[in-house]
Amino acid sequence: MKEALVVFSAVSLVYFAILNGLYLFLTVLAWKEMSRDVRSRRYLALDEVFRSPLTPGVSVVVPAFNEETVIVESVRSLLALRYPRHEVVVVNDGSTDGTLETLVTAFALEPARVALRTVIPTAQVRGALVSRRHPNLLVVDKQNGGRSDALNSGVNAAGYPYVCVIDADSLLEPDALLKVAKPILDDPLLLAATGGTIRIANGCRVDHGRVVDIRVPGNPLAAIQVLEYLRAFLVGRVGWASINSLGLISGAFGLFHRSLVETVGGYWTATVGEDFELTLRLHEHLRARGEPYRIGFVSDSVCWTEVPEELGTLGRQRRRWQRGCWEAMRRHRRMLFRPRYGVIGLVALPYFLVFEFLSPVFALGGLLVTLLGWLLGYLSGYYVLVYVLVSLGLGFLLSTAAIALEELNARSYRRWRDVFRMLFYAVAENFGYHQLHDCWRALGYLDIARGKTGWGAQQRRGFATAPLEVEPAALVSAHRNRSSLPPGEATSPPVGRPSQSRIRKKERRAREHRQGNPYDQSRADPEPDRTLDEARVDPSVDEAGASGDDATALGVPKPRVPKPRAPKPRGSA
């Protein structure tokens, strides 16, 4: 027994030494990469990208299930994004609360018939709604099928060649989409996907979908998660992306080629780690075809999200992450240790297996065995001190490095009080929280053994309270009744033709703009015309139904408004 305890404790010590050595290596890579990024930001030319008529459109897909408290602020932030052509596609995944009613109220939604692709199989779509005030907003109402199924429905409904996926409890900064899309726009043949940084909005003040006052949360659990996210994104993601072995683009904020997602079959619906699994599948698909590619990460493209502040909710989340890691690793186990998959197969995936999935075994087991060996007199006090310094002390240095990277990257926390609080929690998290976190992940092993599936209950606090303008109950009821009737017998009126006064006003604005500077595209209308997208609206669709084998009729398409021509200069022939 003595020898077994001593050997396991020594193995755990070596394990922590190698783990911290990898973290330090990733920190050096991240510091080098981020320093280069900070110097090059002055030459990003985001204004030119914003004004360019060649910038491709992006469809922002937002899956929503029981997100009544946060959905309005999230959609507002997405509609206000600084991007020349983008649309917001919200997929209501059979919510049982007031998610759909809240959307109808806040954005004046009305039922519409829209032709959707069925490239990726999904659960039944019940209907679609559009907004008169926001032509680039589409809401798809479908039966519950899980987050992955809702994302696949959003990809089917997307009208642009690029798809940006975010969570419903997330807020994007105004330039976030422009920044995360810039690498793909610079080299569309090389970049397969990009991800952005996820930051914590707990404790911050949100005004009309924008984070206007950034602070460290007052809740200790949320404050510790700030450090976790800084280490994960500013150290881990930046470091792995620098050697083209980024294994995970967070489901809270990622940009993909829509055609590439469709080619690999969309999101896998039989997992709770769909973001991890899709990223690995993209690596495997592109490596198998022998194509040069990169999956990148943009550290200054920020998405703000809400994190759990209760132990029960946080524990369920971490157990779910552990299951998702196992499901993705098991499905792509053939990539492990195979040279044909390059760094992702030889380094990144073994790291996820040994130092992520199996870490509770060495973290909890090593600590318990070391303490037991010390109490029984098998291990000296000096050895225990070294063990604690290696397993816990280096963690504080890594957290400090992550805080320094945040200061270099964005310097979001302007108050020294917030910085000192993060340094305090960098020490405090080692005594109790890390051990509890390892216990949650160890319970994830039991969930895997029992074959547990699903996401479980989630609680949202909400960013802010959105004002209500009209009563949505009757409209939602009519929309759902309409979706169950034949197209010719719909009970709710379709979206009508725009008024002539609105058309004339739009023509006058465009004429005045072009007369002033016909080459300036900075004030071009960023809202997409849905009827221009052949995959979205079939030209032969009428009020009676939709044609085509791969389309679903869901309302009346908004008629196309012809773009006015610029007047000829005086004196021209």
Give the chain's radius of gyration (CA, Å).
26
- What's the whole-number mean pLDDT along residues 424-450? 93
Encode pLDDT of 64-84 as tens digits.
999 998 899 889 889 989 999
Please report which confidence band the pLDDT of residue 500 belongs to, taking 50, 70 and 90 as the band edges.
Answer: low
Q: What distance in Å separates the CA atoms of residue 11 and residue 250, rounded to the nearest whole number? A: 32
Compute φ and ψ for 70, nearest 5 degrees: -125, -10
Q: What distance in Å separates the CA atoms of residue 200 and residue 305, rounded to the nearest whole number? A: 5
Strand partners, 211: 206
Contacts of 436 (CB under 8 A, 6+ apart): 311
Terminal-to-terminal C-alpha distance of the chain: 100
How much is the mean pLDDT over the chain? 81
Q: Which residue has the higher pLDDT, 49 or 5?
A: 5
- What's the whole-number mean pLDDT along residues 30-42? 87
- What's the whole-number mean pLDDT along residues 181-194? 87
Q: What distance in Å separates the CA atoms of residue 187 and residue 170, rounded to the nearest whole number? A: 28
Encode pLDDT of 138-148 as tens digits.
999 999 999 99
Contact 158, 128 (CB under 8 A): no
Q: What distance in Å separates the CA atoms of residue 559 and residue 561, rounded to the nearest whole number? A: 6
Contact 111, 129 (CB under 8 A): yes
- What's the whole-number mean pLDDT along residues 176-183? 90
Q: Report the pLDDT value the prediction gives residue 536, as an integer from 0 to 100.
A: 40
- What's the whole-number mean pLDDT along residues 33-38? 88
Weakest-pLDDT range from 94-98, 103-107, 272-276, 455-459 = 455-459
Q: Kindly tell me if the per-residue pLDDT of 420 is higher than 90.
A: yes
Q: What's the token pair of residue 198?
A: 């996820």
Encode pLDDT of 7-32 as tens digits.
898 898 899 889 888 999 999 999 99
Compute φ and ψ for 246, nearest 5 degrees: -70, 115
Encode pLDDT of 364-392 as tens digits.
888 898 888 888 888 888 888 888 887 77
Q: Return the closest-CA partner of residue 325 out of 273, 247, 253.
A: 273
Encode pLDDT of 390-399 as tens digits.
777 777 888 8
In 486-515, which positions are buried (b, 16+ CB within 10 angstroms) versus exposed (e)?
ebeebebebbeeeeeeeeeeeeeebeebbe
Contact 250, 195 (CB under 8 A): yes
Return the number of other C-beta atoms located less than 10 Å from residue 55's C-beta: 19
Encode pLDDT of 203-240 as tens digits.
998 887 788 889 999 999 999 999 999 999 999 999 99
Q: Report the pLDDT value the prediction gives residue 304, as an integer from 0 to 100.
A: 92
- Residue reference for tokens 């990460």: 297
Side-chain-facing half-sphere of 572: CA atoms under 13 Å: 4
Please report which confidence band the pLDDT of residue 187 belongs to, taking 50, 70 and 90 as the band edges.
Answer: confident
Q: What distance in Å separates the CA atoms of residue 317 and residue 456, rounded to the nearest whole number? A: 9
| Greatest extent of the chain over all pairs of C-alpha atoms, in Å | 102
DSSP string computed for 462-518 = -S-PPPP-S--HHHHHHHHHHHTS-GGG-SSPPP-PPPHHHHHHHHHHHHHHHHH-T
- What's the whole-number mean pLDDT along residues 230-257? 93
Q: Which residue has the higher pLDDT, 500 or 184?
A: 184
Side-chain-facing half-sphere of 465: CA atoms under 13 Å: 3
Weakest-pLDDT range from 20-29, 259-268, 269-278, 449-458 = 449-458
Q: Kindly tell me if the per-residue pLDDT of 186 is higher than 70.
A: yes
- Residue reference for tokens 């330039």: 175
Compute φ and ψ for 305, nearest 5 degrees: -140, 165
Weakest-pLDDT range from 258-262, 323-327, 501-505 = 501-505
Q: Report the pLDDT value the prediction gives residue 558, as an integer from 0 to 100.
A: 47
Q: Report the pLDDT value the prediction gives residue 471, as an integer from 0 to 100.
A: 44
Q: What distance in Å separates the CA atoms of residue 70 and residue 191, rounded to the nearest whole number? A: 32
Q: What distance in Å separates the CA atoms of residue 204 and residue 463, rounded to the nearest whole number? A: 9
DSSP string computed for 505-552 = HHHHHHHHHHHH-TT--TTS--S--GGG-TTTS-TT-BTTB--STTEE
- What's the whole-number mean pLDDT along residues 523-532? 40
